[in-house]
Structure 1
Amino acid sequence: SRDILLIHDEIITGFRLRYGTAGDKLFGSEPDLLTLGKAAAGGMPLGVYGGREDIMGLAVPGAKGGRWVGGGTFSSHPLTMAAGIAVLERLQEKRNEYDRLNKMGDSFRTRLNDMLGEMNAPLIGTGYGSINFISCLSSPLDKPLKTPGQLGALFDHKMQDIFQGHLMQEGIFGYH
């Protein structure tokens, strides 16, 4: 009603919580434009975008008002395309495993936060389904967090950098 585009950036979440995208099915919002990547080709350099026909039609060469959307160094690279096809076929075959993986992620966070609470540690596990984060806080929690803003107010950037550095020394790498 306000002529504003809704864009789902699912570079991280696409194919992580379900076969396909998370925003439309899990959170009930239909995007006008969508970006995917990372998981769509098993770590190979691949980006995927899509959207409503009237918007995507603007990228069709020769269309009225259309613009050519070009590529770059890795555009249509045969190895990346083969990896993308293989990954998507495998994910589709295993699509019924997503519920189990998401329940495991939820269970992990619950057990982790119970343990951190017992230890009075200034850490919290957050996330959704199979996506998990461990955040360093300026002090232990005395009550559950209800909003992302509360987490942001307690987040300890210096300790987070130290924590992630120690994890990396042990061969544990996160994406943020």
Structure 2
Amino acid sequence: ATELAKEEVRRVLGVLDTHLRTQTFLVGERVSLADITVVCALLWLYKQVLEPSFRQPFVNVNRWFVTCLNQPQFKAVLGEVQLCEKMAQFDAKKFAETQPRKEPPRKEKPPREEKKKEEKKVAPEEELDECEQALAAEPKAKDPFAHLPKRWGHGGGLGRGFGVI
């Protein structure tokens, strides 16, 4: 699974590197929401996984990533970011320690539903105050949209009730 993930990261970084070959930022000539989003998505990769030998072929991505990190707005939120020097390795023992322990299922029988139903019947009803009594006495209002067809318009992919007129 780790090797498959590494290959997928290489593929995605390759696509990004090709795009950034002629661009300073992902969209336009200044930082956009696209840059913020992708930097945040790649941040932990650059901190934990992308060691220098792994990221070496992706010169344009590295340039863009470091350029974004050096923007004052990024520094204000992220602080100083140290790029990974050695790739993090999977440790099965540590992983097992962090997973919650599974307890064996209990052999107790759940209480019967009949008893719960009986208890509900036995409970005395609360007295309603004046406001609640008035609301209970009012006839139930029918749906104000009941006369409309369930789906109107030509059904052109805009969702229920938003057809083109």
Which category of TM-score, normalised to the shorter sequence, fits these structures? Answer: under 0.3
The TM-score, its normalising length taken from structure 1, stands at 0.25
- Indicate the structure with greater helix content: 2
The TM-score, its normalising length taken from structure 2, stands at 0.26
- Indicate the structure with greater strand content: 1
- The structure having more radius of gyration, on CA atoms, is 2
